Amino acid sequence: MLENDEGTAPSQGQTNLPYAGIRVVEFTHMVMGPTCGLVLADLGAEVIKVEPIGHGREGDATRKLRGSGAGFFPLFNRNKKSLALDLETPEGKEAMLRLIATADIVSENFKPGTMQKLGLDYASLKALNPRLIYVSHKGFLPGPYDHRTALDEVVQMMGGLAYMTGRPGDPLRAGTSVNDIMGGMFGAIGAMAALAQREKTGRGQEVQSALFENNVFLVAQHIMQFAVTGQPAAPMPARISAWAIYDVFQVKDGEQIFLAVVSDGAWALFCDAFGFADLKADPRLASNNDRVRERAWMMPLLRERLAPFSAAHLADVFERHALPFAPITRPEDLLTDPHLNATGALAPMTLPDGRATQTVLLPLALDGQRPGVRLSPPQVGEHNAELLAELGYDAIKIEALSAYPSSAGA
């Protein structure tokens, strides 16, 4: 297979990407801001990740995370270039302002006041580049809470999501960085909207996205449930389901499988498939709402009847009858998922330490093709020479500005 000069096999869908020609300069770390840049980069934008050097810093600190953070940098920073500069020096600041003068979008997700201290806030930069779109990712939109330090878990707790996810009295965070990722996506959506408006007005604008408000949007269906019914939404494990059979079943050899029967037609198919003629004819179970009311005795009976079957057998029966089901899958198992591999959802990529791996692409297709990996996650300052030369710096000045590779590290 042919490879590009980054050592990554080319993916489909690399031509005529919608944001080709758009330049994004991002000052981001962790998940939220990098997700915004990832979306724009995968859709064709040139995304330049600015990383700090000097003063004991060697690039984005996210690179060094372990445990649950070990996947952050390689997932959210593909298709980006790295420019490593010391922005606390006049020379580094000057180089950055030259770069921003050429940019369409600046994106940042640092604490309130950080960019202003560097002179890189929107108020300062729009005078330099009136067409600039400035995307700011924060914990809260401006208001009484905007001084607080927010994390995904913080806003899940205060925004109703942990309450809805856990059992009563046991709030539980979701198993992934839902607000960081979705907040970054809304930042990208805002940038796209601002680009469209700039076509009409010729002017840029500031876009703001926030974790807390994102989380409130996630639980808005439960807020509206209360508005419509007058009844508070119960946590998901204790809720009265809208569907009678919509649950995890423990079956043969201790395996688990999620099964759903959500309509009256599906109930008839389900009963026929398993020979449950008595349940199909039971007038107490005639409709979905009837079955919801009878769950107290119906579900234990179904669990007993389905327990002798293997998960594979149940999956086969449900699939043949077009009934919803799902195996209980660990994230690492998805690397060998036949559907993901057959549809191009996984793409080859090189980690910053040189190891080959696969990564997960955006969950969309454009004209039948998945936007793929053009650049693997960059080394610290990997594109300094290219980008600074484009800005008019000679080799000696580039070396002085970047301190790469000798002190920034590779």
Where in the sequence numbering do the catalytic residues fall?
Answer: 180
Q: Write phi, then psi, for 119 (nearest 5 degrees).
A: 75, 25
Q: Phi and psi dihedrals of 328, rounded to 5? A: -90, 105
Element (H, E) at 394: none
Local structure of residue 129 (DSSP, 8 states):
-
Phi and psi of 81, rounded to 5°? -105, 150
- Reference 184, options 55, 36, 302; nearest CA is 36
Length of the chain (residues): 410
Token couple for 11: 């993916």
- Bin 16: left if φ > 0, else alpha if -120 < ψ < 50, else beta: left
Kindly state the tokens that stand for 73: 């940098």
The DSSP code sequence of 59-111 is S-GGGG--GGGTTHHHHHTTTEEEEEE-TTSHHHHHHHHHHHTT-SEEEE-PP
The pair of structure tokens assigned to 174 is: 């979701």
Q: What are phi and psi of 255, to 5 degrees?
A: -70, 160
Locate all alpha helices (DSSP H) within 101-210, ordered by sequence: 114-117, 122-128, 152-158, 161-165, 178-201
Distances (CA, A) of 143 to 6, 136, 212, 213: 44, 15, 12, 11
Say if strands 256-261 and 245-250 run parallel, antiparallel, or are unpaired.
antiparallel
Residue keyed to tokens 């604490």:
111
Contacts of 249 (CB under 8 A, 6+ apart): 256, 257, 258, 259, 302, 303, 306, 307, 314
